[in-house]
Amino acid sequence: MRIDIITVLPELLESPFNHSIVKRAREKKLVEINIVNLRDFTNDRYKSVDDYAFGGGAGMVMMIEPVFKAIEKLRSEREYDEIIYTSPDGEKFTQRLANQLSLKQNIIILAGHYKGVDQRIRDFLVTREISIGDYVLSGGELPAAAITDAIVRLLPGALSDEQSALSDSFQDDLLAPPVYTRPADFNGWKVPDILLSGHAAKIENWKHEQSEERTKRLRPDLLHDDDENG
């Protein structure tokens, strides 16, 4: 898989991709992550990539020309399955969507900035708009990093235990069950006996019951979403 991230602040993305699971996935050649500096695609002497909005209003807007040039340069080298724009008004990013995107081959993520991007980019080039939550950040770099991390950890071979991703929260529209490790008794706080029983089937049943209970109590909306999706 290859993920190209177009950004006006490439330095913000250096650390997230150089540690932990994403770093190992890159070293294993499971994913290629390419950070594209949008300022490399402007002819402005000051490397500006934003301008005032037509019709007035507060804030600056990412100009169409450098974004178009950056995307066209990437598309001249390979075909892309998705061109994603990170935006507060995009579709909500979920584990289900992460699963879908992990099956793609090549993805472009355009990190939004300023007051947004010229609408024509969204109308004619972007194939998908994604939001990581109902709040506004200073830019789309952190959402781009979150989306990339969620996708990469799903790639076969990215995790040392490939079954781990299958038991993550949200994979079955349920929260993960509680987990425990040694010691079994600490300060009188004991691990549930069932987990020490060695009875695999009963343990799995217990975990599923715990997942259902936690989801009903903490995130009942997940169960409603599942009903709506059939």
Q: Which of 98, 121, 152 is the last residue of a domain?
A: 152
56 with 96, same domain: the answer is: yes
Number of domains in the chain: 2
Mean pLDDT of the chain: 91
d(Cα 112, Cα 90) in Å, to the nearest integer? 11
CB 98, CB 154: distance < 8 Å: yes
Angstrom CA distances, 148 to 10, 43, 83, 172, 193, stand at 14, 30, 13, 21, 39
The CA distance from 191 to 185, in Å, is 7
* DSSP element (H, E) containing 89: strand 82-92
Residue 91, pLDDT > 80, answer: yes
Q: Is the pLDDT of residue 86 over 70?
A: yes
* pLDDT score, position 170: 61
Same domain flag for 175 and 78: no
Cβ distance 93 to 130 under 8 Å?
yes
Kindly report the CATH number assigned to the domain that includes residue 42: 3.40.1280.10
Tell me: the pLDDT tens digits for 59-72? 899 999 999 999 99
User: How confident is residue 230, by pLDDT bands cut at 50, 70 and 90?
Assistant: very low
Give the Cα separation of 149 and 95 in Å (integer). 12
Are 172 and 147 contained in the same domain? no
> For residue 105, is pLDDT > 50?
yes
CATH of the domain at 175: 1.10.1270.20
Do 126 and 177 belong together in one domain?
Answer: no
Alpha-carbon distance of 35 to 200, in angstroms, equals 45
Look at residue 42 and tell me whether its pLDDT is greater than 90. yes
Q: Please, which pLDDT band fits residue 169 given cuts at 50, 70 and 90?
A: low
* 222 lies in the same domain as 144: no
Tokens 């402007």: give the residue: 42
Q: Are residues 139 and 222 in the same domain?
A: no
Residue 66 lies in a domain: yes
On the question of pLDDT at 165 being above 80, the answer is no
16-34 per-position pLDDT tens digit: 999 999 999 999 999 999 9
Is residue 139 domain-shared with residue 172, that is, in the same domain?
A: no
- pLDDT higher than threshold 50 for residue 80: yes
Shared domain for 112 and 221, answered yes or no, is: no
What are the distances in angstroms from CA 20 to CA 26, 49, 74, 160? Answer: 10, 33, 27, 11
Rounded to an integer, the average pLDDT of 134-138 is 90
Q: Supply the range of the domain harboring residue 61.
A: 2-152
- 44 and 121 belong to one structural domain: yes
194 pLDDT exceeds 60? Answer: yes
Whether 159 is covered by a domain: the verdict is: no
pLDDT digits (tens, 9 = 90+) for 218-228: 999 988 755 44
Closest by Cα among 98, 100, 94, 102 to 173: 94
| pLDDT confidence bin for 176, thresholds 50/70/90 | confident
* Closest residue by Cα to residue 67 from 127, 136, 8, 129: 8
57 confidence band (pLDDT: 50, 70, 90): confident
Residue 129: pLDDT band by 50, 70, 90 thresholds? very high
* Residue 103 shares a structural domain with residue 195: no
- The answer to whether residues 19 and 123 belong to one domain is yes
